[in-house]
Amino acid sequence: MIRFRLTLLSFLQFFIWGSWLITIGTFWFETKKWGPQDYGVIFSTMGIGALIMPAIMGIIADRYLSAQKLYGILHFLGGIGLYFIPSAATPADMFWRILITMFFYMPTISISATVCYHILSKEGYDIVRTFPRVRVWGTVGFIAALWTVSLTHNEASANQFFIGSAVSILLGIFSFTLPDCPPAGKIKTEKGWMNNLGLDAFKLFKDYQFSIFFIFSMLLGAALQLTNAYGDVFLHVFDKNPNYAHSLVVKYPAMIMSISQISETLFILAIPFFMKRFGIKQVMLISMIAWVLRFGLFAFGNPGDGLWMIVLSCIIYGMAFDFFNISGSLFVEQNTSEGIRSSAQGVFTMMVNGVGAVLGSVVSGFVIEHYFQDAQGTMDWQSIWLSFAGYSLLVAIAFALLFKNKPLTAQ
């Protein structure tokens, strides 16, 4: 019964995000009729929200408030934020409304993992085996939300935000029915000011292996931002080529991209096998190699005889995303003490979805504009994807050399 409740939590957690994340562009351009000049900054709100809020909320969950209660409060406030987004009168107004909403939503990603880990452990489950089976329903929830909005023809409607709002408030209420996940951290004044402020998790950077892990979390977060920012844009470039007018990529780009999410559901379930067979370092290294293939296949793919490359790239995305994000979260859970686990999960989310996402967005935009775009604004997509693949390969080589994969004493 408790596993079903955590499965429902995971499903609703990502249903909220999926209800608007992919379709907000249609709402922006077709309903609001705003231009592209301000659209890009909307996606920076997630990175900004993840820079500070997961770590701060993790401290609160460790020190002051039960994790499931904090989780519920954040979703309730996030639901209110989603409700008011579509009534924004200007692009700037919408930016601030989404940013505030992301301040509430982004911490729930790491706190949801904390709640699941705590309850599963308390109930005697094997976390490595069971958590991926729970988390996979988050991906199913994201897909279900996308299909719900699409099948009800709400891609350009404010209803997509109202759907997300209702589900967020529902999840907030549901969270208060879960078993208690009390704060495990204690304030000990003799430990110094970092302990008093609840910043103990940042001491993990003093450990060589954890510092390397967090640095590569940031670098992989940048890779994730690259595919989020440019994947759909790349597929729409083929619209302008009459040779591909009747191809699946041009007719159904959203369905092609959804293969990535479907792939996630399969690779999440494979994580326990790979973790036990190969270990954490090899699993994370597989993820990095998968990013190389993800970008490399895009470089040579097309909607014609290269369609298989685009489809395979989307399939490989599931491995690239899950094998680092999920296994990385498990790594943090298994190698930190109970009193700082929420904070440590927050730091992990901050490095991936905050620092990594912001750096990936800013640096890639600069590089593309100065090196891979001509005076008419035409982008050299093959060179762009090959440069991203080269970046991922360098990250993989460095990780293989620097990450020691030695047993850790709980911090």
Name the DSSP class of 75.
H
In the structure encoding, which two tokens stand for residue 19, read together? Answer: 């209800």
pTM over 0.85: no
87 and 228 both lie in a single domain: no
Q: CA angle, 172 as apex, 168 and 175 as ends, to 5°?
A: 135
Last residue within a domain, chosen from 147, 182, 217: 182
322 and 364 both lie in a single domain: yes
Q: What count of other Cβ atoms lies within 10 Å of the Cβ of residue 89?
A: 8
77-123 pLDDT, tens digit per residue, is 999 999 999 999 998 999 999 999 999 999 998 899 889 989 998 88
Domain count of the chain?
Answer: 2
Answer whether residue 194 is part of any domain: no
* CATH code: domain of residue 63: 1.20.1250.20
398 and 301 both lie in a single domain: yes
91 and 219 both lie in a single domain: no
278 and 339 both lie in a single domain: yes
Query: In 3D, which of 241, 260, 15 has the Cα closest to residue 145?
Result: 15
43-90 pLDDT, tens digit per residue, is 778 878 888 788 788 788 888 899 999 999 999 999 999 999 999 999
pLDDT surpasses 90 at 163: yes
71 and 112 both lie in a single domain: yes
In terms of Cβ atoms closer than 10 Å to its own Cβ (0-12, 13-18, 19+), residue 402 is: middle
11 and 93 both lie in a single domain: yes
Backbone angles phi, psi at 88, to 5 degrees: -60, 135
Answer whether residue 358 is part of any domain: yes
163 and 244 both lie in a single domain: no
Residues 88, 99 contacting (CB under 8 angstroms): no
Answer whether residue 118 is part of any domain: yes
Measured distance CA(106)–CA(257) in Å, rounded: 23
236 and 115 both lie in a single domain: no
Answer whether residue 249 is part of any domain: yes
387 and 331 both lie in a single domain: yes
148 and 218 both lie in a single domain: no
373 SS3 class: strand
Name the DSSP class of 306.
T
Answer whether residue 174 is part of any domain: yes
In the structure encoding, which two tokens stand for residue 138, read together? Answer: 């988050």
113 and 210 both lie in a single domain: no
In the structure encoding, which two tokens stand for residue 21, read together? Answer: 């994340």
Answer whether residue 196 is part of any domain: no
Cβ within 8 Å of residue 82, ≥6 positions away: 16, 20, 101, 161, 162, 164, 165, 168
- Residue 83 belongs to domain spanning: 1-182
Average pLDDT, the chain: 85
Query: In 3D, which of 350, 290, 283 has the Cα closest to residue 323?
Result: 283
Q: What count of other Cβ atoms lies within 10 Å of the Cβ of residue 62?
A: 26
Residues 262, 369 contacting (CB under 8 angstroms): no
